[in-house]
Structure 1
């Protein structure tokens, strides 16, 4: 390290020019940066199940939906229906819209004498207002529209807008979402009273949160971090240095992202803020070490070399462990985790390289700083001295009690860990007062079951689904599905046939609810289309070899949706054997399977990170026992986090594990700084107490400062409305506080008890 810093200082101009060229090269790509994210790109890549899901959506309609519900007094009057017609026509003309379902499109079926009459419910409401109550009651109880389009109390109208299922960028969701709401607003609807849901609404809000990360969280984090740096040092030059280093690291990282992927996605927009915050640790340690070396009376150049040599090695190890923490995300079988893990790992490496290269150059250029412990900064440092002395006193005088207290904390955390139940509910990742959450509660009351799950039933036999025995078995299968606890309703061509048969042959239908012959089934479907029935192709294909049962589930999370789908598939296999293929598909169902893979990948990533970090600790401390023991304070923050959520949260969102990976990478840094400094102090003196005191006042000072600064920087995330962003501002500071306590209390106590054998006298 000493040689590298000397080389850098001797070739300052060349080094700065090279940095400028790399920055210009990567920064140029940022001018072409655009946020573009598709569901397949983020989560599934070339997953064959997802590709089949897209293909089936094109054939039978998909779940790229916006749900818009409103309650107005004149909703079912001729005037209200006329306004709705105009709004629906406007929506249908918008790009990407495939279909709009509402009371305008719902069809009423009845027989008059020997004739089958199919009319629109909306037409009946407009033309026969005297029959409104009768028509509404029929609509509410219609098996095709039950608990859909009109609430049971007839007070709320639901409009369902379906968008094309091609793998479109999620950045288009807000435009589509606002286009739908604008259409209603143009017709005088009070859109502020609308309740909105569906997949496209969720993605629209997520996209807005990603912009919030870039436009609000990033600048506010930077301001808070810089404020705390100034508060700790009471000088502008540390602020300027940290600002320059982080600025370059962010440009390099995001420039690489655009060059590799051609664009940013809604999750990589968090990377600049994460890089910004993690960069501060190395710079704070270097600045603190430089001032402490100057305080010893060293000349400027010697202080630069000494601080770079002693702290730089620790920074190299800490950056390595942080890199491993982030890089472990690449083991998760999902493109979005791989991208974020790669970029964060590169950002950490870039921050280390720029810090170890440019910080010494900054030190050499600026004038020798004034004495650190004079003036207003002495108050801050005095408080730090008091805190460090208290830590020294507690950890050395009551070492056994400190270790026992931390082991009790770990035991409680392990118990909490056993209570963790993972689930992912994208709509519930928003705060309770968020419009989406408010709408979700409203939908659960008015239209229970809004999560689509399509069950595709297929056969290789031509016209095979019109075999009366097969059709009857499918009808029984549909009833079985509808009786599952999370399923609210199932609609299929079976319901349509049953309804048609009951209207045409009520006596026979009373005994046999379905036609007993293939010809009877075919004739009913043909009659339906000849009399003006619509959308039959959205339930069964022309060859009658493929059909869909459209189920609606309660929003219990994607894992629950996946379990329901797998149970349906197992039952289908048991009922039909090889004669029919039963294939549940839906985005929540697929995401549930994806989450299972993510959880498995995250566990592997954590295991990999813990194992490799343990190896690095052994190499850094040059002792196997010390390296393995050092993992105790590093594991503690992870256990505290999992114990906390297990004890106090009913359901733990799977994104919580992402915080664990970040916390592991960051939290281990301070342990490395402390123990490497302790090893250096142990060489100088045999008295462990003096070595612990010196280590606390040298590295412990920077550990406290960097932990406070990082916790403050991450706290800005807590103001986000989206859970996956918010937890970086709540759970991550919790991990940092636990790591800080372990490093300034537990580690010194373990050293004092002789668990780390750095001293000849021990």
Structure 2
């Protein structure tokens, strides 16, 4: 479609909107309400596994292990006495007993492990006694308490797992079997656990901290709810204040807010109809949509108000503003949607939902901006402030500076950009799923306390094959298993190792009169098998060995509990463990798995997948810009201000912060779709002046500043404000993504108002063939390009 036909359509369309303003207002509101009715179907997903695609190798390995052994979906009660030196007092042990007994009654509870129900074994003449370590705590004398303390602090299965190094803190671990059929399973389990914790704190001088994978699942959900309930209202307030401050019009501000509401409920409603379940990333979509929606309205409003300030009648100004901005707004909406749709290349499904919901919201905003907004403004009274003239004068002054000093600006921009980009290699990927949560959250505080005083939060799990049914009793296998266990225990990152080899040693000692000299592995397969059978027959219901052995005893699970560490360190110790097994065992080759490992690899996988997504987005957006602007050279030149901001944001982050999580893989595609808007608006006004008014590059740059400079600044201010609000999220992925995107937007406005004009005047030297009056060139209408 050529420019003449495009202008003709835009003119006819603008007149049609003004004519049918009342039906348009009513129908668009009805459309938003209809689409928004799907919000009732939206639910929150409470499962950390949703961050991983079905073909994620770490997830597949973890699921395979979960199907073989007892699941590690757990809640860990960490009990910290207020005044006692250690937990080995009648009162504290009674609290442990109470939690242990009542925990079996929690919804979906499968297993409960604590120092009170630990199955302590000891010899009594020729018999093996297997019983709870703590029985009737309130009636224990000091000798019994000392015995319990000695056993707990020397038992490898308990020390640094369920009792602290010096006994000051203890833990009760509840394993859950969540059916996965209802969305409220996690909240129900957590609510019951919190009620039990509150009961213990009310009856004993003890603080209770709740951690574990079920609590983490719940923290993901609570973070989503928190962001939607707290950040969205703040965002509305910020937008209302900034929009009114910039446009100084009550009607224009109200119209903008209504469009925001309609766009958000349309996007979220359609997400509900499509069955999308909200996660922390996708829960940020309303805040992002609210931020992006304002841009369309601002461009229409700035041109409209400028025309009215110059004397144009309101409805004529509305029609003219719509005619001028219809094509650029459509173009920027498409490119923004493409940028967010590129998130579908991510290896993490929640970011697919974020991209799709935001893309729907952006396109809904376009529809409402070119239908509802002009129709609404045609109905409402509209007063004009003369403040816009001062802003236009500021843009004219900036244009003069850029034109006069274009060479220094160009070369200094290149030099500064190269310096900043050189810091990108300093960025280190680190996905610590605990650090995803702000220190103000209950879950993060509980994890930090537990890690500092009891045990680690990361589990590294290995399933070691023994080679045959009942092969775990083979002395050679047990020797390899024990050697691996000892190797793990001397690693600086490891806090605790859970292994069946310790049980074999303890049983061998017990059945040799509790002689410490026999604390070693059985020497024959038959003897080991007999020990194991005798022990299993003595265990109470719910405390079997399925957490360590598979059904036919052909493999065993070794679980290393790790200290806090970076994802690089986590990948490193997992890799070292795999290498040790490959080198030092016959057949027990295994890979380290666990939730921490899954998150440790997620950045690398996402960056790899998002490189393809960003490349596709760049190609599509560049093609659309070239086609719309009808210039291959200008389209290629636009890549510089479109791609550079994300690179500069990464460089600044590398200089100031250093570590990033998987949010970094999303920022390039997202920011590309956002920052391209201002570039398109600037270039469209520049080319309009070049082609239709016959201006040279210098005059066309001045015209672009005058026509769209104020709108670019306004939209950028609102975009940055919006992402800074999102940066207050208690969820680290959202806050880091928002900060990086906000930095990219700041870099984009600098690039669009300084670097881009300098590049245009340097490279676009072809003289225009159009004829125009020179006076018309100089007196181009400020912020009201009527050509």
Whether TM-score is above 0.5 comes out as: yes
Q: TM-score, normalised by structure 1?
A: 0.91
Counterpart Cα distance in 2 of 1:562 and 1:649: 22
1:657 aligned residue: 665
2:353 aligned residue: 339
Aligned positions of 1:50-65 closer than 5 A: 50=59, 53-54=62-63, 56-57=65-66, 59-65=68-74
SS of structure 1 residue aligned to 2:284: helix
Q: How has the CA–CA distance of structure 1 residues 746 and 168 changed in structure 2, closer, same or farther, with 3 Å as cutoff?
A: farther
Q: How has the CA–CA distance of structure 1 residues 48 and 433 changed in structure 2, closer, same or farther, with 3 Å as cutoff?
A: closer
Match of 1:254 among 243, 268, 288: 268
1:145 aligned residue: 158
Q: Residue by residue, what CA displacement relative to the aligned partner does 1:429-476 show, whole Å, maximum 9, x if unpaired?
A: 233454444444433332343312221123562222322222222222
2:45 aligned with 1:36: yes
1:240 aligned residue: 254
Q: Is the 8 A contact 2:507 2:531 kept in 1?
A: yes
2:457 aligned with 1:450: yes
Match of 2:525 among 515, 518, 523: 518
Tell me by how many angstroms 1:519 deviates. Answer: 0.5
Aligned positions of 1:41-120 closer than 5 A: 41-45=50-54, 50=59, 53-54=62-63, 56-57=65-66, 59-72=68-81, 73=83, 75-120=87-132
Q: Is the 8 A contact 2:287 2:726 kept in 1?
A: no
Tell me by how many angstroms 1:563 deviates. Answer: 4.8
Tell me by how many angstroms 1:340 deviates. Answer: 1.5
1:154 aligned residue: 167
SS of structure 2 residue aligned to 1:427: coil
SS of structure 2 residue aligned to 1:409: helix
Q: Residue by residue, what CA displacement relative to the aligned partner does 1:212-252 show, whole Å, maximum 9, x if unpaired?
A: 22111111101210111111121111112112222221122
2:194 aligned with 1:186: no
2:420 aligned with 1:413: yes
Q: How has the CA–CA distance of structure 1 residues 119 and 192 changed in structure 2, closer, same or farther, with 3 Å as cutoff?
A: closer
Tell me by how many angstroms 1:278 deviates. Answer: 0.6
1:608 aligned residue: 616
1:404 aligned residue: 411
Aligned positions of 1:380-391 closer than 5 A: 381=388, 383-391=390-398
Tell me by how many angstroms 1:272 deviates. Answer: 1.5
Tell me by how many angstroms 1:331 deviates. Answer: 1.0
Tell me by how many angstroms 1:628 deviates. Answer: 1.5
For the aligned residues, what is the CA RMSD?
2.9
Aligned positions of 1:345-384 closer than 5 A: 345-367=359-381, 369-373=382-386, 378=387, 381=388, 383-384=390-391
1:720 aligned residue: 729
2:142 aligned residue: 129
Tell me by how many angstroms 1:169 deviates. Answer: 6.6
Tell me by how many angstroms 1:317 deviates. Answer: 1.5
Tell me by how many angstroms 1:330 deviates. Answer: 0.6
Q: Residue by residue, what CA displacement relative to the aligned partner does 1:390-414 show, whole Å, maximum 9, x if unpaired?
A: 4223312221221222223321222
Match of 2:752 among 725, 739, 743: 743
Aligned positions of 1:244-643 closer than 5 A: 244-261=258-275, 263-367=277-381, 369-373=382-386, 378=387, 381=388, 383-459=390-466, 461-505=468-512, 510=517, 513-532=520-539, 534-558=543-567, 560-576=569-585, 579-580=587-588, 582-643=590-651
Counterpart Cα distance in 2 of 1:168 and 1:595: 30
Q: Is the 8 A contact 1:58 1:165 kept in 2?
A: no
Q: Is the 8 A contact 2:548 2:558 kept in 1?
A: yes
Q: Is the 8 A contact 1:37 1:266 kept in 2?
A: no
Tell me by how many angstroms 1:261 deviates. Answer: 1.2
SS of structure 1 residue aligned to 2:546: helix
Counterpart Cα distance in 1 of 2:23 and 2:143: 88
Tell me by how many angstroms 1:11 deviates. Answer: 4.6
Counterpart Cα distance in 1 of 2:768 and 2:377: 34
2:234 aligned with 1:226: no
Q: How has the CA–CA distance of structure 1 residues 658 and 515 changed in structure 2, closer, same or farther, with 3 Å as cutoff?
A: same
SS of structure 2 residue aligned to 1:94: coil
Tell me by how many angstroms 1:743 deviates. Answer: 1.4
Q: How has the CA–CA distance of structure 1 residues 281 and 551 changed in structure 2, closer, same or farther, with 3 Å as cutoff?
A: same
Counterpart Cα distance in 1 of 2:153 and 2:767: 78
Q: Is the 8 A contact 1:91 1:179 kept in 2?
A: no
Counterpart Cα distance in 2 of 1:391 and 1:561: 51
Q: Residue by residue, what CA displacement relative to the aligned partner does 1:707-753 show, whole Å, maximum 9, x if unpaired?
A: 11222233222333222232355333322222111112222222333
2:230 aligned residue: 216
Counterpart Cα distance in 2 of 1:432 and 1:515: 48
Tell me by how many angstroms 1:135 deviates. Answer: 3.0
Tell me by how many angstroms 1:385 deviates. Answer: 3.3
Q: How has the CA–CA distance of structure 1 residues 603 and 262 changed in structure 2, closer, same or farther, with 3 Å as cutoff?
A: closer
Q: Is the 8 A contact 1:106 1:121 kept in 2?
A: yes
Counterpart Cα distance in 2 of 1:237 and 1:248: 16
Q: Residue by residue, what CA displacement relative to the aligned partner does 1:40-77 show, whole Å, maximum 9, x if unpaired?
A: 44433476864664464355222222223232145422
Q: TM-score, normalised by structure 2?
A: 0.88
Q: How has the CA–CA distance of structure 1 residues 168 and 566 changed in structure 2, closer, same or farther, with 3 Å as cutoff?
A: farther
Q: How has the CA–CA distance of structure 1 residues 612 and 14 changed in structure 2, closer, same or farther, with 3 Å as cutoff?
A: same
Tell me by how many angstroms 1:124 deviates. Answer: 8.8
Say which is worse superposed, 156-165 or 492-501, in terms of deviation: 156-165
Tell me by how many angstroms 1:18 deviates. Answer: 4.5
Say which is worse superposed, 85-94 or 460-469, in terms of deviation: 460-469
Match of 1:5 among 10, 14, 19: 14
SS of structure 2 residue aligned to 1:719: coil
Q: Residue by residue, what CA displacement relative to the aligned partner does 1:558-596 show, whole Å, maximum 9, x if unpaired?
A: 56444543443454345556x456353322223334443
Counterpart Cα distance in 2 of 1:290 and 1:757: 32
Q: Residue by residue, what CA displacement relative to the aligned partner does 1:84-120 show, whole Å, maximum 9, x if unpaired?
A: 2223322220112222222112233333443333332
Q: Is the 8 A contact 1:60 1:537 kept in 2?
A: yes
Q: How has the CA–CA distance of structure 1 residues 757 and 244 changed in structure 2, closer, same or farther, with 3 Å as cutoff?
A: farther
Q: Is the 8 A contact 1:36 1:171 kept in 2?
A: no
Counterpart Cα distance in 2 of 1:744 and 1:64: 53
